[in-house]
Amino acid sequence: RVFNFKVVKEFPHDPAAFTQGLQDILWESTGMNGRSTVREVELKSGKVLRSKKLPKEDFGEGVTRHGDRLYQITWMSPRTWSYAVSDFDDVQQLETPLADGWGITSDGTHLVVGDSSERLTWVDPAAGMKRVRQVAVKDAGTPVPWLNELEFVEGLVWANIWHTDCIAQIDPESGEVVGWVLLGSLRRRAEDAAAADASAAGKRAQPLDREAVLNGIAYDAEQQRLFLTGKLWPRIYQVELQEVEGAQGVANLQRARQHCIMRGNMQAGR
């Protein structure tokens, strides 16, 4: 299945936030050494209600809520920080089996973590982050690497593909990609919002940074609302998906497989 999207609402977002994870609408992880944080954010206003900085050697990556705790992984490290939802000062340090942390989500029983490869790994936080199982993500037999921010949505693992405008919808049992969400015009919308904000402030508009890529998925299961953002984006977008069928759907699937599945080696930079 292939999906386009429609923006139904937009909300302000800290344009200095190098967003590495978005969870349950209100929880956010930001990256960059010396600037990484875990945050509680008010959706309507974009106001940061509370924030805790990571040690300067840590580069924050994905964040997820699991029970009454948040779990935040770090880049180029197995280190994972766990916080009580009610108190960021109630913090524990854990380690995943991965040498590099990119995305993290929860299926309600275990945590699901990724390391930029095509592999997703299930770990048990109640057993010291012990590995439970692992699957390789593929689309019609082709490995799909560079899985970044993760979110569990209606029984599927959704994954931003790093440095693309694509989200893969993944069957957690088989690892098979069962859908693609194509979001090419959303970054352009964020560019326009940044220019409008600069103009309103009497400043010269600057293009978004090359690293200001799509990288934030939050799903409100209770109200079935989907929110997307990116690194350094000035907005969070609530979107509805629109399935593309027929001949156009076939064409879009071919385009997704060409654009969303990156082959060969890329120099990973965050």
Which domains are present in the chain?
Answer: 2-260 (2.40.128.630)
pLDDT digits (tens, 9 = 90+) for 240-253: 999 999 999 999 99
Q: How far apart are CA 113 and CA 131, in angstroms?
A: 10
- Which residue is associated with the tokens 């957690």? 172
Residue 117: burial class (beta carbons within 10 Å; 0-12, 13-18, 19+): middle
> What are φ and ψ of residue 191, in 5° steps?
-60, -45
Confidence band of 210 (pLDDT split at 50, 70, 90)? confident
pLDDT of residue 228: 95
pLDDT digits (tens, 9 = 90+) for 92-150: 999 999 999 999 999 999 999 999 999 999 999 999 999 999 999 999 999 999 999 99
Q: What is the per-residue DSSP string for 165-225?
A: SEEEEE-TTT-BEEEEEE-HHHHHHHHHHHHHHHHHTT----PPPTT--EEEEEEETTTTE
pLDDT of residue 209: 83
pLDDT of residue 127: 93
- Which residue is associated with the tokens 């997703």? 120
Structure tokens given for 122: 């299930």
Name the DSSP letter for residue 55.
Answer: P
Q: How far apart are CA 119 and CA 169, in angstroms?
A: 14
The order of strands in the sheet holding 87-95 is: 60-66, 69-74, 79-84, 87-95
pLDDT at 20 > cutoff 60: yes
Contacts of residue 99, Cβ cutoff 8 Å, sequence gap at least 6 = 76, 77, 78, 115
